[in-house]
């Protein structure tokens, strides 16, 4: 079976800084693959290249065996790539449900529908509600994004990604900046989603990552220095030296 | 078209281009660095021309007129920036458009109240009112030649200031990253005011130099503003070098358009050219960022 | 990202319907006051309101500041004027067609032709972001303005007089009151259309991309084609409004499409309150009314006019609609949420 996501020899340079340095990576169907790495390692830059917002300088990206390296971001979304933003990227006036419904709408082909009220289309609303519930935000269904707390915004990021019915979820630090309790709840939520989606998860919280991920990759200065199971990573001397030692 | 006519029109075109560059340099810097759209830039052009015409009537001196015009435009620019416009740097472009559109109405009407509806004239000093041969037997107005050269000199100076001086470095630092600039100890608001004043002075200078060729009247700034916006877009916003070449292109195309076609059709030529260029290079010919 | 002002569907449709109902009383008022001028002003308000409500689709909902609205307005006016001219002069427009002074034909044509112009202008100017869009649309406005001046045959700089009486389905429409209700019907249709568009999937894309383009692209929507269609609809409706103006004053001239007229449209739309269908109606009414009353009291009316606009922009960020929000104690709109 082909990998849902495959990355070959990816490079991205910002001036003198090599943000992505020859990355090879794969996510198997149903797998949760985590990426850990210190601040500034190039994790977000990697995700942005996979989603299409940032163009790599060299290398190739495959989704379900299809080369999407030159495919623009919005078409990649159509191919099943969904991404959550590390810094929540929302629309202040849209309610939680509006956000999810917009994501559903985007998956249903073009939006040249001029007449029917979008906020009454059950075909959009039903899957949107489901995604919002799955992200644990059901109680805030009709709140505008501007009224959400930080943690709720992170949940909404997840809800939007889920509403896209993705083949692969790219989650950029879904628990960043959350309190302990919220963080644990989010971990539980991701555990529930595990197996149902193929996921690439970026996360700083070691305990969470080691308990969740099937495989982990360690990214340091733009390069992956090791990929393996939780045990393999924990016991790798190079990883310990480069990262875990002062993580 | 004969060679001499061609040459004459080419010089006219370059001369218009140089003046447009004086206008556009302020626009493009203010837009590139402060992300601010200033539709009232043409009012500064008008202010320079009016101040110069008045100063000449009062003193009889062309040089004093230039000084007075530049100073008046710069002062007006700084006052506008400090009092009103700097509040809009962080507002939406819509608010910037509304505010500067209102300022155009205010300044145009104030000028009309003070000077009445009929245009003012500015006369040339004797030394500049003749013509010089550019080819044997082909005379060209001395003044236009002087304007052309003066514009080129100012353009060169501006380029040096932006590229080589500390102030220019600050300006470029402010362009890329405001917070870093302020943490480097740059007083961003003061630099911005200075920059705005400089742009205003250049716009004023363009108005003064144009005054003896055209007439000094209310509303004279807006057609030039629109051409300068075309220059800004074609040159790539924020790029002085791009603005220079785009200004020459616009000046030449506009001049030849009017000579070769009817005036109205000729005036369309530059916009058609713009549309064609943008169709292939949406961010202009010399886009600096993004 | 486009301009960051918030774009809620702030109000329901009904305030716009109330305003239209109030406008519908203008002829009665005119008769009661025995002042034919009243219905003339009301007609003008209605016509400019059509242009302003239409502009709101691009400016308010899609967040794109267009300075080309007057040009499309003028294109529509010239379609009506030119077709009537050909009929009056018995000269073929093309393929033996002698033009027409039948509004049932020429109004839709004006709508269509202006829409095509807008699509062409939009195709070039929408390829880049907000600020470029403003400058490029302004340049295109100037281009079309000179284009009208270049129409020597149709009066050039002096404009085009419509000498033959215009008809609607064969009936003479030169009666002021009849014409007013024709224009008002068009305003009602425009309001209903824009309201539906804004709430449809199409409108959702426009509103989302206006505030957060990155998000729209991330979920799979490239805003460009939607913006283009919105811009074309805005231009087409402007053309309809311009056609009505030409018909109402039996005259159209390049002055009606000068760049500052485009600025006036932006002022009307924005000062009334963007992203509401009623804001631009109030904006158009306030604008025309202020213009007329100031200009009849003083020669230099543009000075107080400019000051008023400046004061409103400085003090009321959401335009006059903000007053309603303030009265309700509602919160101000914000930028895209990036925490
Ligand atoms: N657009 C850009 N231009 C220049 N440099 C950039 C750009 N985007 C990222 N960088 C640089 O690339 C490096 C990697 O950044 P990135 O955001 O991918 O790191 P990260 O691993 O996600 O960090 P964090 O843990 O803080 O989220 C950083 O040094 C950053 O400054
Ligand atoms: Mg990151």
- Which pLDDT value is given to residue B185? 67
Whether the CB of B260 is below 8 Å from some CB of chain C: the reply is: no
Arithmetic mean of pLDDT, C25-32:
88
Say if residue B182's pLDDT is above 80: no
* Cα–Cα dist A19/A37, whole Å: 13
For a pLDDT cut of 90, what percent of chain B falls above it? 54
Decide: B121 and B53 in contact? Cβ < 8 Å: yes
In angstroms, how far apart are the furthest CA atoms of chain B?
A: 61
Residue nearest to atom 18 of ligand 1 (CA): A42
Instruction: Report DSSP state, residue C277.
Output: S
- Domain range for B196 is 24-122+142-280
Say if residue A21's pLDDT is above 90: yes
Whether the CB of A55 is below 8 Å from some CB of chain C: the reply is: no
Residue-wise DSSP of C130-193: HHHHHHHHHHHHHHHHHHHHT-GGGTGGG-EE--SPPEETTEE--SHHHHHHHHHHHHHHHHHH
Arithmetic mean of pLDDT, C62-78:
97
**How many whole angstroms from B142 Cα to the centroid of ligand 2?**
62
* Cα–Cα dist B192/B30, whole Å: 8
Query: What radius of gyration do chain C's Cα atoms show?
Result: 20
**How many whole angstroms from A191 Cα to the centroid of ligand 1?**
28
* Cα–Cα dist C23/C12, whole Å: 19
Map residue A181 onto helix, strand or coil: helix
Contact residues on chain A for C220, CB-CB shorter than 8 A? 74-75, 77-78, 103, 106-107, 164
Map residue C118 onto helix, strand or coil: helix
pLDDT digits (tens, 9 = 90+) for B45-75: 999 999 999 999 999 899 999 999 999 999 9
Q: How confident is the model at residue C339 (pLDDT cuts 50, 70, 90)?
A: low
Instruction: Give the helix/strand (H/E) hosting B264.
Output: helix B263-280
Residue given tokens 């005119």 in the structure block = C30
Q: If we measure between CA atoms, which residue out of B154, B199, B150 comes closest to residue B45? A: B199
Q: How confident is the model at residue B183 (pLDDT cuts 50, 70, 90)?
A: low
Map residue B60 onto helix, strand or coil: coil
Helix orientation angle between B221-235 and B3-34, rounded to the nearest 10 degrees: 80
* Cα–Cα dist C239/C144, whole Å: 13
- Which pLDDT value is given to residue B166? 75
* ipTM of the prediction: 0.93
Q: Where are the alpha helices (DSSP H) in chain C?
A: 14-23, 26-33, 36-56, 69-88, 103-125, 130-149, 176-199, 201-211, 213-219, 224-249, 259-272, 279-297, 302-315, 321-328
Question: Per the domain annotation, does C178 fall within a domain?
Answer: yes
C143 → closest Cβ in B104, B268, B282: B268
Q: What residues are paired with A26 via a beta bridge?
A: A6
Decide: C61 and C275 in contact? Cβ < 8 Å: yes
pLDDT digits (tens, 9 = 90+) for A170-184: 999 998 888 888 889
How buried is B228 (Cβ within 10 angstroms: 0-12 exposed, 13-18 middle, 19+ buried)? buried
Question: Per the domain annotation, does B241 fall within a domain?
Answer: yes
Contact residues on chain A for C228, CB-CB shorter than 8 A? none
Decide: C138 and C132 in contact? Cβ < 8 Å: no
For a pLDDT cut of 90, what percent of chain A falls above it? 79
Tell me which of C229 and C130 has the higher pLDDT: C229
Taking CB atoms within 8 Å and a gap of at least 24, the contacts of A232-238 are A234/A210
Contact residues on chain C for B230, CB-CB shorter than 8 A? 135, 139
**A235 CA: distance to closest CA in chain C (Å):** 36
Tell me which of A19 and C318 has the higher pLDDT: A19
Instruction: Give the helix/strand (H/E) hosting A223.
Output: strand A223-228
Decide: A150 and C339 in contact? Cβ < 8 Å: yes
Which residues fall within 8 angstroms of residue A31, CB to CB, at 6 or more apart? A4, A198, A199, A214, A215
Instruction: Give the helix/strand (H/E) hosting A104.
Output: helix A96-107
| CATH code for the domain of C247 | 1.10.3470
Least confident of A88-102, A128-142, B47-61, B231-245: B231-245
How buried is B1 (Cβ within 10 angstroms: 0-12 exposed, 13-18 middle, 19+ buried)? exposed
Question: Per the domain annotation, does C154 fall within a domain?
Answer: yes
Q: Where are the domains of chain A?
A: 1-80+168-247, 87-165
Decide: B262 and C156 in contact? Cβ < 8 Å: no
Residue nearest to atom 17 of ligand 1 (CA): A44
Say if residue B205's pLDDT is above 80: yes
Q: How confident is the model at residue B184 (pLDDT cuts 50, 70, 90)?
A: low
Query: 10 Å Cβ neighbour count for C37?
Result: 10
Question: Per the domain annotation, does C290 fall within a domain?
Answer: yes
Report yes or no on chains A and B touching (3+ CB pairs under 8 A).
no
Query: 10 Å Cβ neighbour count for B179?
Result: 8
Q: Is the CB of A50 under 6 A from ligand 1?
A: no
pLDDT digits (tens, 9 = 90+) for C145-172: 999 999 999 999 999 999 998 999 988 8
- Tally of structural domains, chain C: 1
Q: Is the CB of A40 under 6 A from ligand 1?
A: yes
Say if residue C330's pLDDT is above 60: no
Q: If we measure between CA atoms, which residue out of A85, A97, A244, A245 comes closest to residue A177? A: A85
Arithmetic mean of pLDDT, A43-60:
96
Contact residues on chain C for B108, CB-CB shorter than 8 A? 302
For residue C214, give both structure tokens. 């990155």
How buried is A189 (Cβ within 10 angstroms: 0-12 exposed, 13-18 middle, 19+ buried)? middle
Which residues fall within 8 angstroms of residue C139, CB to CB, at 6 or more apart? B226, B229, B230, B233, B271, B274
* Cα–Cα dist B55/B66, whole Å: 8
Contact residues on chain A for C202, CB-CB shorter than 8 A? 111-114
- pLDDT, averaged across chain C: 89
Query: Is A117 in Cβ contact with C199 (below 8 Å)?
Result: yes
Q: How confident is the model at residue B175 (pLDDT cuts 50, 70, 90)?
A: low
Report, at the CATH architecture level, how domain A1-80+168-247 is classified.
Answer: 3-Layer(aba) Sandwich (3.40)
Q: What residues are paired with A201 via a beta bridge?
A: A34, A171
pLDDT digits (tens, 9 = 90+) for C6-28: 344 455 788 899 999 999 998 88
Question: Per the domain annotation, does C62 fall within a domain?
Answer: yes
How buried is C312 (Cβ within 10 angstroms: 0-12 exposed, 13-18 middle, 19+ buried)? buried
Instruction: Give the helix/strand (H/E) hosting B101.
Output: helix B93-115
* Cα–Cα dist B2/B4, whole Å: 5
For residue A63, give both structure tokens. 């989704």
Whether the CB of A133 is below 8 Å from some CB of chain C: the reply is: no
Query: Is A98 in Cβ contact with C204 (below 8 Å)?
Result: yes
* Cα–Cα dist A152/A140, whole Å: 9
* Cα–Cα dist A145/A90, whole Å: 7
Arithmetic mean of pLDDT, B25-41:
87
Query: Is B92 in Cβ contact with C146 (below 8 Å)?
Result: no
Question: Per the domain annotation, does B257 fall within a domain?
Answer: yes
Instruction: Give the helix/strand (H/E) hosting B179.
Output: helix B178-183
- Which pLDDT value is given to residue C324? 66
- pLDDT, averaged across chain A: 92
Query: Is A116 in Cβ contact with C204 (below 8 Å)?
Result: no
* Cα–Cα dist C266/C133, whole Å: 14
Helix orientation angle between B188-210 and B142-164, rounded to the nearest 10 degrees: 170
* Cα–Cα dist A1/C191, whole Å: 55
Instruction: Give the helix/strand (H/E) hosting A35.
Output: strand A32-36
Q: How confident is the model at residue C319 (pLDDT cuts 50, 70, 90)?
A: low
Question: Per the domain annotation, does C56 fall within a domain?
Answer: yes
Query: Is C317 in Cβ contact with B274 (below 8 Å)?
Result: no
- Which pLDDT value is given to residue B126? 81
Q: Is the CB of A43 under 6 A from ligand 1?
A: yes
| Strands across the sheet containing A58-63 | A17-27, A5-14, A58-63, A66-67
* Cα–Cα dist B265/B258, whole Å: 7
* Cα–Cα dist A69/A77, whole Å: 13
- Which pLDDT value is given to residue A161? 97
Arithmetic mean of pLDDT, A37-56:
94
* Cα–Cα dist B180/A31, whole Å: 42
Predicted structure pTM score:
0.92
C309 → closest Cβ in B84, B94, B98: B98
Query: Is C306 in Cβ contact with B102 (below 8 Å)?
Result: yes
Which residues fall within 8 angstroms of residue B169, CB to CB, at 6 or more apart? none
Q: Is the CB of A99 under 6 A from ligand 1?
A: no
pLDDT digits (tens, 9 = 90+) for C281-293: 999 999 999 888 8
pLDDT digits (tens, 9 = 90+) for C213-267: 999 999 999 999 999 999 999 999 999 999 999 999 999 999 999 999 999 999 9
Q: How confident is the model at residue A217 (pLDDT cuts 50, 70, 90)?
A: very high
**C336 CA: distance to closest CA in chain A (Å):** 5
* Cα–Cα dist C116/C109, whole Å: 10
For residue B51, give both structure tokens. 């101040």
Query: Is C214 in Cβ contact with A111 (below 8 Å)?
Result: no
CA dist B5 → B253, B267, C319 (Å): 15, 19, 54
Establish how many alpha carbons lie within 13 A of residue B247's alpha carbon, considering only the half-sphere containing its beta carbon: 31
- Which pLDDT value is given to residue B287? 59
Q: Which residue out of C142, C147, C258, C305 would a mutagenesis test of the B interface target, given it has the greatest number of B Cβ atoms within 10 Å?
A: C142
């Amino acid at each position: 079976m082909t990998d849902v996501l495959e990355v070959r020899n990816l490079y991205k340079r910002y001036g003198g800084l090599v943000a992505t340095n020859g990355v090879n990576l794969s996510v198997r169907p149903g797998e949760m693959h985590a990426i850990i790495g210190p601040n500034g390692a190039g994790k977000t830059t990697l995700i942005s290249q996979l989603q299409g917002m940032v163009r790599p300088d060299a290398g190739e990206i495959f989704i379900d065996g299809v080369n999407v390296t030159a495919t623009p971001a919005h078409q990649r979304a159509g191919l099943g790539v969904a991404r959550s933003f590390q810094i929540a990227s929302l629309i202040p006036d849209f309610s939680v449900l509006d956000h999810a419904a917009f994501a559903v709408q985007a998956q249903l082909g073009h939006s040249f529908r001029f007449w029917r009220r979008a906020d009454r289309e059950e075909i959009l609303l039903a899957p949107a509600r489901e995604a919002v519930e799955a992200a644990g935000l059901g109680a805030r269904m009709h709140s505008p994004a501007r009224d959400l707390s930080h943690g709720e915004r992170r949940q909404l990021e997840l809800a939007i990604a889920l509403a896209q019915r993705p083949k692969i979820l790219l989650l950029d630090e879904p628990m960043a900046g959350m309190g302990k309790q919220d963080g644990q709840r989010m971990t539980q939520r991701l555990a529930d989603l595990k197996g149902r989606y193929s996921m690439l998860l970026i996360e700083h919280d070691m305990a969470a990552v080691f308990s969740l991920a099937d495989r982990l990759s360690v990214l340091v200065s733009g390069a992956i220095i090791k990929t393996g199971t939780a045990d393999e990573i924990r016991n790798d001397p190079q990883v310990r030296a480069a990262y875990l030692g002062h993580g | 078209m004969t060679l001499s006519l061609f040459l004459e029109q080419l010089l006219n075109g370059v001369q218009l281009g140089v003046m447009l560059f004086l206008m556009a340099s302020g626009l493009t810097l203010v837009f590139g660095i402060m992300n601010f759209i200033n539709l009232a830039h043409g009012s500064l052009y008008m202010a320079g021309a009016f101040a110069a015409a008045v100063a000449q009537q009062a003193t009889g001196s062309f040089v004093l007129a230039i000084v007075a015009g530049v100073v008046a435009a710069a002062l007006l620019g700084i006052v506008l920036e400090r009092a009103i416009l700097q509040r809009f740097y962080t507002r939406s472009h819509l608010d910037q458009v509304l505010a500067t559109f209102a300022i155009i109405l205010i300044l145009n009407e104030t000028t009309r109240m003070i000077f009445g509806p009929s245009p003012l004239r500015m006369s040339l000093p004797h030394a500049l009112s003749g013509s010089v041969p550019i080819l044997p037997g082909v005379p060209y107005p001395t003044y236009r030649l002087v304007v052309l050269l003066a514009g080129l000199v100012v353009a060169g100076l501006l380029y040096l200031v932006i590229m080589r001086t500390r102030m220019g470095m600050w300006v470029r630092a402010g362009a890329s990253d405001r917070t870093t600039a302020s943490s480097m100890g740059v007083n961003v608001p003061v630099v911005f005011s200075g920059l705005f004043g400089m742009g205003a002075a250049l716009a004023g200078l363009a108005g003064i130099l144009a005054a003896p060729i055209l007439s000094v009247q209310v509303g004279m700034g807006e057609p030039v503003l629109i051409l300068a916006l075309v220059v800004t877009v074609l040159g790539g916003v924020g790029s002085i070098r791009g603005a220079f070449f785009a200004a020459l292109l616009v000046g030449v195309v506009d001049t030849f358009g009017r000579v070769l076609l009817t005036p109205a059709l000729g005036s369309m030529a530059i916009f058609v050219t713009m549309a064609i260029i943008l169709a292939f290079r949406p961010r202009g010919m010399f886009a600096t960022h993004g | 990202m486009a301009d960051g002002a918030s774009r809620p569907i702030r109000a329901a449709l009904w305030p716009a319907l109330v305003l239209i109902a109030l406008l519908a009383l203008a002829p009665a008022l005119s008769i009661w006051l025995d002042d034919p001028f009243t219905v003339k002003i009301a007609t003008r308000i209605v016509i400019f309101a059509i242009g302003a409500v239409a502009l709101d689709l691009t400016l308010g909902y899609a967040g794109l500041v267009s300075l080309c609205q007057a040009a499309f307005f003028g294109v529509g006016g010239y379609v009506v004027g030119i077709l009537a001219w050909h009929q009056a002069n018995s000269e073929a427009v093309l393929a033996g067609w002698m033009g027409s002074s039948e509004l049932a034909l020429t109004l839709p044509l004006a709508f269509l032709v202006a829409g095509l112009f807008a699509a062409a202008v939009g195709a070039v100017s929408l390829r880049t972001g907000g600020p470029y869009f403003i400058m490029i649309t302004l340049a295109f406005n100037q281009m079309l303005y000179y284009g009208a001046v270049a129409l020597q045959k149709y009066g050039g700089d002096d404009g085009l007089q419509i000498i033959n009486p215009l008809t609607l389905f064969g009936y003479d429409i030169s009666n002021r009151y009849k014409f007013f209700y024709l224009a008002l019907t068009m305003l009602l249709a425009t309001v209903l259309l824009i309201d539906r568009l804004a709430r449809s999937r199409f409108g959702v894309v426009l509103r989302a991309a206006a505030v957060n383009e990155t998000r729209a692209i991330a979920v799979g929507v490239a805003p460009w084609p939607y913006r283009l269609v919105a811009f074309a609809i805005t231009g087409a409706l402007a053309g309809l409004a311009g056609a009505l103006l030409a018909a109402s004053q039996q005259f159209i001239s390049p002055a009606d499409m000068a760049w500052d007229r485009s600025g006036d449209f932006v002022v009307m739309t924005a000062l009334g309150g963007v992203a509401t269908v009623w804001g631009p109606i109030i904006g158009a009414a306030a604008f025309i009314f202020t213009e007329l009353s100031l200009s009849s009291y003083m020669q230099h009316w543009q000075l107080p006019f400019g000051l008023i606009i400046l004061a409103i922009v400085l003090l009321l960020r959401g335009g006059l609609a903000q007053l309603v929000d303030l009265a309700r104690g509602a919160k101000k709109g914000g930028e895209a949420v990036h925490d």
